[in-house]
Structure 1
Amino acid sequence: MIKDFYTAIENRRSIYGISKETTVSDERIQEVIEDAVKYTPSAFNSQNGRVVVLFGEDHDRLWDITKESLRKIVPEDKFAATEEKINSFRNGYGTVLFFEDMSTVQALQEKFAAYKDNFPIWSQQSSGMLQFIVWTSLEIEGLGASLQHYNELIEDEIKKQWNVPNNWRISAQMPFGKPIAPAGDKEFMPIEERIKIFK
């Protein structure tokens, strides 16, 4: 069943209870991610969003790397909770890694010096849109996901493990899989406190 745009936005939530099962083929996951990368807006049409998708053992390896990196900085008496959290991501079917191509950003800074300070900001905004589109697209396909940010902690190891170009800067990790538990309740501020309309 195809959901409309507004329903998909409402249903996109942080889903932490995920399994090593999927609701669609790997080819379909690849297709929706490729479409998201292709059509996400970017400043000056820079198209600086980059993605790595990990399935199977590669997905497991990512979260093993993350867990061992955290083991070095989290006190031993507090590590059990950290390990449980990381294992919940490892229990998923796959992970989407999001990057920004900083060589593209730097080239634009040189070409359009008047906007130099804005290009890193615009790059992050485009990256956020890409993450949202992928997240919502996975939700439409029946998959649960959440967005994580272990960036600097694992970036060097990720680049070595999967031969990621050095000019790609990591911005987020999105573990996904078939949902096995619903999202928690979400409270909303009164909408009139967040929007002003003038006619």
Structure 2
Amino acid sequence: MNAIVFDYLVVQGMSDAAVAFAQATGISQSIDQGMIQERMDIRKAVEDGRVEEAVRRVNELDPEILDTNPPLLFHLFLLRLIELIRAERVDDALEFATLELAPRGAQNPEFLADLERTMALLAFPNIVKDDLSSDPAYAPIAKLMSRDQRVKVAMELNAAILESQGQGMESKLIGLVRLMSWGEKRLNKAGLTVDDDRGRQWADAVLREV
């Protein structure tokens, strides 16, 4: 359990807390605090809308992260387009979409729907100011302008960096919670609970695999 908590602290970028926790619990683990801080700085840049900075820093860290992950790069570029629209830089947004996004959409048809939805923001640049986000007709477009969109892309990039560094794409604790939730639903569907003998046996087996 200590190892699971330590892993969560590292993945979430809490390097000081991870070091203190390892010392307090006697876990024999070494971490690169500088690397963790760089990962957190990149994540923060995306969450703040500084996409160009994030892309530059990722390429300085490891160019293969984006070179080998076209969907992630496309999502970062889409976010860059959104930020240009948010700043009302329409000409820059159109140029960026033409030069960077349209060719990728032509090569990868699965990207086109996201590109078309994002381009629709050009027709409604003040969608948030006009409070159209509550209108079901505009909600999918307005969502792109929310902070949640930045956080979503930031988490995707964070996972890719973790994977490039030989770590899990998410913390073992989050994976365990997701697995236990799935297992609980399966038990309920079978008419069992974790208080049943069979339910306890399943839960014990899950914990042994972590």
TM-score for the superposition, normalised by structure 1? 0.29
User: Which is higher, the Rg of structure 1 or of structure 2?
Assistant: 2
TM-score for the superposition, normalised by structure 2? 0.28
Structure number with higher strand proportion: 1
Structure number with higher helix proportion: 2
